[in-house]
Amino acid sequence: MALFDKFARLAAARRELARQGVVPFGVEVERIHSATEGEIGGRRVILAGTNNYLGLSFDPDCIAAAREALCAEGTGTTGSRLANGTFAGHLALERELADFYGRRGAIVFSTGYLANLGMLSSLTAPGDVLLVDADCHASIYDGARLSGAEMIRFRHNDPEDLRKRLLRLGARAADAVIVVEGIYSMLGDRAPLAEFAAVRRECGGYLMVDEAHSLGVTGDRGRGVAEEAGVESEVDFIVGTFSKSLGATGGFCVSDRPELEVLRYASRPYVFTASPSPSVIASTRAALSILRQRPALRRRLWANAERLYRGLEALGFRLGADPSPVVAVLLDTREQALAIWAGLIERGVYVNLMIPPATPKGRSLVRCSVSAAHEPEQIDAICAAFADLRGIGAAPSRAPAAGGRGGN
């Protein structure tokens, strides 16, 4: 096989999309007007596919904090955390994250992807076992592969399937690492964490939860699905990202395990990556403070999510899960998904197009993500745009949540 032959199928798929006049991936947002509006193709659009759950990317306090750090500390650290890249702000953010979660320690990574990659590749090694929910994000699978550990997939959101697989491991189950997510990014469904925690108590192992899409979204204090389910004390490692509710870039892990500090020195994606820029750290700290102090943002987010979900449900679209800030509209074919996605942009609404192989069970869908910054009128405008297109994708009943590979 020649070097580039392995990309033939991907290249053919891109050519087919180009022939249809659709370029859905890497869409250029030409201008950003606010947390909820931008311009694509010269057209002003409502941004309904950004994961900007609390709408903090334009918050004045976050911008002011970033500007102050930019002026005081420059544009970047120009080094890794173990070289010259640890500034006072990095350590302060780690302390604040640990305090927010009520944990002993925290590690900040340069991206959410690197948080999963760095934790899993250092926590486990050849001879260890990772049990991974089938719908987990690509970063979790990549971290598992990089670790060299034995990886076992279990059925999505199925505690009994996890239990059976742990029991088959026998004594090895005691040191196995179980990895799930809080809210899954494709269909917006929650992990049954109380049930998973019960399996872990029965069979042994360590539990890691990726709360990327549930930080700031669920729980009385916005700490995620583990808090909502009342099982935080049974979760060994919580991983998350700054690129959703906190409106920035970066990732983290918090834990009560004293070994977390040692992992900092064993994690190659941490050791050999430049640390986050001071302005990013500063805006993230401001956003975390806002998350803690303004629970009304979370209430508004859920009001918007419910409004969109019920509006699309009334139009007859098949929706992938119960109401959540991720609202997935399931379609029968890739062509339907492409047509609706393009039709929504024409009507001033941007959402995410998701087609195989990145989707659960090879389904095609368009994914909306709701923000606390959306006005009710914007939610209604999104529904009106879908209403114009319901002849393409509406169905008589809502489909149940599906399994399969997820993405983010």
pLDDT tens for each residue of 69-119? 999 999 999 999 999 999 999 999 999 999 999 999 999 999 999 999 999
121-130, 230-239, 316-325: least confidently modelled range: 316-325
- Structural domains of the chain, ranges and CATH numbers in brackets: 10-47+295-393 (3.90.1150.10), 58-293 (3.40.640.10)
| SS3 at position 159 | helix
Is 374 among the residues known to form the active site? no
pLDDT tens for each residue of 239-267? 999 999 999 999 999 999 999 999 999 99
Which of 57, 213, 243, 371 is the catalytic position?
213
Quick check: 296 pLDDT over 80?
A: yes
88-97, 270-279, 329-338, 358-367: least confidently modelled range: 358-367
Quick check: 408 pLDDT over 60?
A: no
4-8, 34-38, 305-309: least confidently modelled range: 4-8
Quick check: 403 pLDDT over 80?
A: no
224: its two tokens: 């995620």
Quick check: 122 pLDDT over 70?
A: yes
What DSSP string runs through 255-315? ES-TTHHHHHHH-HHHHTSBPPPHHHHHHHHHHHHHHHH-THHHHHHHHHHHHHHHHHHHT
Which of 57, 110, 185, 267 is the catalytic position?
185
What DSSP string runs through 19-43? HTT---SS----EE-SSSEEEETTE
pLDDT band at 369 (very low <50, low <70, confident <90, very high): very high
- Give yes or no for a cis peptide into 357 (omega within 30° of 0): yes
**Cβ contact 371:35 at 8 Å:** yes
197-206, 299-308, 353-362, 363-372: least confidently modelled range: 353-362
Is 90 among the residues known to form the active site? no
Which of 244, 245, 275, 277 is the catalytic position?
244
User: How wide is the angle at C-alpha 155 spanned by C-alphas 151 and 160, nearest 5°?
Assistant: 105
- Which residues, listed in sequence order, are joined to residue 46 by a DSSP beta bridge? 37, 349
